[in-house]
Amino acid sequence: AQSVSQHNHHVILSEAASLELGCNYSYGGTVNLFWYVQYPGQHLQLLLKYFSGDPLVKGIKGFEAEFIKSKFSFNLRKPSVQWSDTAEYFCAVTGGGNKLTFGTGTQLKVEL
């Protein structure tokens, strides 16, 4: 069975600080990896995804993530966060089918 670990549960940053959220997964086969974001009071939206090719993927709003197969990791990064990035971030993985397995999420608060 696949599983996802997000080690940072709550992160507080000042505007313009750099962001890196950790994500590690466990699965024995080929995986597809996703980062979703949930802004306060809204539903989940896709930030970016990786399924093949260049392990450095770029998403919306200046986010990027790097797939490191040897470390089973897919960390999310942003060079300079904004107050509007305050949200909950979820890493997720699919294996052989469509079943998404989510991590427990990271609450990011960006202070002015």
Partner 1 sequence: NAGVTQTPKFQVLKTGQSMTLQCAQDMNHEYMSWYRQDPGMGLRLIHYSVGAGITDQGEVPNGYNVSRSTTEDFPLRLLSAAPSQTSVYFCASSQRSSYNEQFFGPGTRLTVL
101: tokens are: 């397995």
Confirm if 20 and 75 have CB atoms less than 8 A apart: yes
Span of 18-26, 57-65, 70-78, 96-104 interacting with partner 1 by CB under 8 A? 96-104
Cβ neighbours of residue 52 closer than 8 Å, sequence gap 6 or more: none
- What number of helices (H) and strands (E) belong to the chain? 0, 12
Instruction: Indicate whether 90 belongs to the interface with partner 1 (CB under 8 A).
Output: yes
Span of 11-19, 45-53, 54-62, 66-74 interacting with partner 1 by CB under 8 A? 45-53
Instruction: Indicate whether 51 belongs to the interface with partner 1 (CB under 8 A).
Output: yes
42: tokens are: 């809204």
Residues that bind partner 1 (CB under 8 A): 4, 6, 9, 32, 34, 36, 42-46, 49, 51-52, 90, 94-105
